[in-house]
Amino acid sequence: EPEVTQTPSHQVTQMGQEVILRCVPISNHLYFYWYRQILGQKVEFLVSFYNNEISEKSEIFDDQFSVERPDGSNFTLKIRSTKLEDSAMYFCASSSLDGAVAEAFFGQGTRLTVV
Amino acid sequence: AQRVTQPEKLLSVFKGAPVELKCNYSYSGSPELFWYVQYSRQRLQLLLRHISRESIKGFTADLNKGETSFHLKKPFAQEEDSAMYYCAPWADTGRRALTFGSGTRLQVQP
């Protein structure tokens, strides 16, 4: 069964460094998402991506964040100049259609620890 | 403001007992409603959606527009149901993405 794959599973980085979280969505999916979950808190929407551009982003997704689909298979989340409060679990998701119609499939998450 | 509320952080029941995980929403328009589940060390996965009216793993959820609720129910809990459960509306206005509730941890004791 196809799965959304995220790498790495755990990333430790120093405050102020840039990190890139990688996701390989399911191959025929068209809609891509990033969510994050700070320890003990709810899963929060960051950004949605369709047709090679951001379709929507939350207030969390400020200039520190960017997303890219560089090669038609990977979907990346870049966090510039990481802060301690960026420590969280980051989930990638994809769906074949608008998620109101089709199920969103989630990756297993990348745990980002900023020290 | 659009909001989804899961009032219980933890629900602990014994095996065989009925389960009801509460979800209330405050959304304009007519949201699609979903329940997602996350078993220990596994990824978030769709459990059910109100539009399909299916029963998955014995769980059902009825949309009550009057009470703006979408509670998840199961008549007889099993130990393997222990997991985090997230109610997630998808609104047809505003943000077109899942918005998750804070989640309820269901603990089914033997």
pLDDT at residue A102 greater than cutoff 90: no
Yes or no, beta carbons of B92 and A100 under 8 Å apart: yes
* Interchain CB contact of B92 with A (< 8 Å): yes
Of A41, A45, A106, the CB nearest to B44: A106
Residue B66 three-state SS:
coil
Distance between CA atoms of residues A57 and A49, nearest Å: 9
Q: What is the pLDDT of residues B26-50, one digit of tens each?
A: 877 677 889 999 998 889 999 988 8
User: What mean pLDDT comes out for the span B18-25?
Assistant: 95
User: What mean pLDDT comes out for the span A66-70?
Assistant: 94
Burial of B52 (0-12, 13-18, 19+ CB in 10 A): exposed
Q: What token pair was written down for A67?
A: 């997303």
- In A, minimum Cα distance to B52 occurs at A101
Q: Which of A58-67, A87-96, B62-71 has the lowest mean pLDDT?
A: B62-71
How far is Cα of residue B103 from the mean position of the Cα atoms in its chain?
8
Of B43, B102, B103, the CB nearest to A106: B43
Of B49, B97, B101, the CB nearest to A33: B97
User: What mean pLDDT comes out for the span B73-90?
Assistant: 94
pLDDT at residue A111 greater than cutoff 80: yes
Rounded to a whole number of angstroms, the distance from the CA of A108 to the nearest CA of chain B is 5
User: What mean pLDDT comes out for the span A91-99?
Assistant: 84
Q: What local confidence, expressed as pLDDT, does residue B1 receive? A: 63
User: What mean pLDDT comes out for the span A18-38?
Assistant: 94
* Interchain CB contact of A44 with B (< 8 Å): yes
pLDDT at residue B90 greater than cutoff 90: no
Q: Are B46 and A104 a contacting pair, CB within 8 Å?
A: yes
Chain A residues within 8 A of B99 when measuring between CB atoms: 45
pLDDT at residue A66 greater than cutoff 60: yes
